[in-house]
Structure 1
């Protein structure tokens, strides 16, 4: 695939823009010492630009390689670019103001920003699933590659939906709203008490349930499956290959589901729990086994004669 093919794609330029914004934010981490919830105000936009940039660059490869002839290709890419860019602009704007971008309903302006972000990411999610559906029904894609792409997009879609757990207002917040007190609507934290020291850079709680962990995991498992699809392009397509990829999809989805359950129970993924830790360990071993089996499958044979 020629580089010129990518230069025509909106998502490619979205990835480039995210890279530029990331580079621009980095000096602010040292120049601006303001903190919000214990972290530098610029950490959050930095995390989001990195995430959106990674999504854009992997997704544009999928769109060019497998959906190039789809009549909605360019429009979907443009819509994904616009909605994600809106998200980044608003998060960065709030960071510059020293305000929370998510869950913040302290003022009318903050409520509007939070609402726009919610609408924007909802549109993004629908378009993401539509793209996955069109890959699923495209018959020209080999079975194992299609299996990998679809599982990646489905789990990423599930990871995005997890975000709605965080935006739902809690009972105490609803009670405060009834009394005319508007502070927050939702939270990434589940459980009560000391959240403990946050994981470096990410800020994820090590004690209480933090829904950002399964949210992040689900969204970026997609990249694992996209890279796997690229690897499978040089492998023989077979029922065994397809089955192994399907098992991988189920295993990754199960890990994500158990992460959500543990978080809803108010417990951090990083807190040792005999049951959950054992489940993660067993599922991870099975994932490694499936990946080794896929790697051990011989490369695709070519019936070409050199003269």
Structure 2
């Protein structure tokens, strides 16, 4: 079996250590930024990077071709994550905002560095996703769980681009030191959900960013949990339904955020669309479990043979 990508595993281990340090910071450092403990942001980022690094370390191990390119892309991802968290923690130590901060020359430089690493991370993520996207896994269900997860995760990552443009209020203020925002319709730093900090008075683009990015963990995990289903046609249908439902969820919360609406205070239109999504899932799942006409025995799919093993046998 191909080994998991070591630089990404190392990055995940570093992030795990930093997550513990950040957790101590939340309880021991009583400084507050935007109404939340100042160490909460690095805690959230490090935990997210742990999941991100472990997932990509596994995904890149599935590659049977272009392994050198896969290793290079994974290494760039790992470096970009380390640079980004270094900037975030540096700004926490200084008691400053890490995002959208143009208050001083140093703040601007650090934000520019972080913005550059984020763009590098996005581009390498897309390139790596393209490589893995066309790789066949052990079963069609596993293949499509990874494919849908890759596409939705890339879309969730791209939501960050919507946070970069200055708001109308910022453009009107020629002395504004903050340019860009994750909140929609309200200023950043207002009332938010405990721990997460997502706005409770306006839209928040961090919601679709979070749900979108973590499709890459949710859908493959669902595929793993359904391994006990012997009928691979039924299992594939369940994965496709789950993928469609999760994609619909990400689209829904993105639309909700762009309309300046808090996640916890949906209006009638949002609730109606959410109801349709749930109803569609509720109908689709039982239908895919119905016995197929003329079915004699469950369909099983043999794992795809490793091309290297095949070559060894032939030799």
Q: Fold-level match, TM-score > 0.5?
A: yes
Residue from 207, 210, 227 that aligns with 1:216: 210
- Determine if the alignment matches structure 1 residue 92 to structure 2 residue 89: yes
**Equivalent residues of 2:60, 2:132 under 8 A apart:** no
Aligned residues: 295
What is the match of residue 63 of structure 2?
A: 67
Residue from 164, 167, 174 that aligns with 1:167: 164
Distance 1:75 1:289, change over 3 A: farther
SS in 1 for 2:214: helix
Q: Normalising to structure 1: TM-score of the pair?
A: 0.85
- Determine if the alignment matches structure 1 residue 183 to structure 2 residue 172: no
Q: For 1:275 and 1:88, how far apart are their aligned partners in 2?
A: 38
Residue from 267, 273, 282 that aligns with 1:273: 267
Cα offset, 1:269, TM superposition: 1.5
Q: More displaced, 13-22 or 164-173?
A: 164-173
Cα offset, 1:23, TM superposition: 1.0
- Determine if the alignment matches structure 1 residue 54 to structure 2 residue 51: yes
Cα offset, 1:250, TM superposition: 2.5
What is the match of residue 305 of structure 1?
A: none
4+ residue runs of structure 1 moved beyond 3 angstroms?
Answer: 139-142, 192-197, 229-244, 284-302
**Equivalent residues of 1:11, 1:57 under 8 A apart:** yes
What do you get for the CA RMSD once the two structures are aligned?
A: 2.8
**Equivalent residues of 1:195, 1:206 under 8 A apart:** no
Q: For 1:44 and 1:292, how far apart are their aligned partners in 2?
A: 41
Residue from 23, 28, 40 that aligns with 1:26: 23
Cα offset, 1:237, TM superposition: 7.2
**Equivalent residues of 2:182, 2:188 under 8 A apart:** no
- Deviation per residue, 1:248-285 (Å, 9 max, x gap): 22222222112111111111111031221232244245
**Equivalent residues of 2:181, 2:188 under 8 A apart:** no
Long gaps (5+) in structure 1: 303-307
What is the match of residue 132 of structure 2?
A: 135
What is the match of residue 16 of structure 1?
A: 13
Q: Normalising to structure 2: TM-score of the pair?
A: 0.83
Q: For 1:119 and 1:165, how far apart are their aligned partners in 2?
A: 16
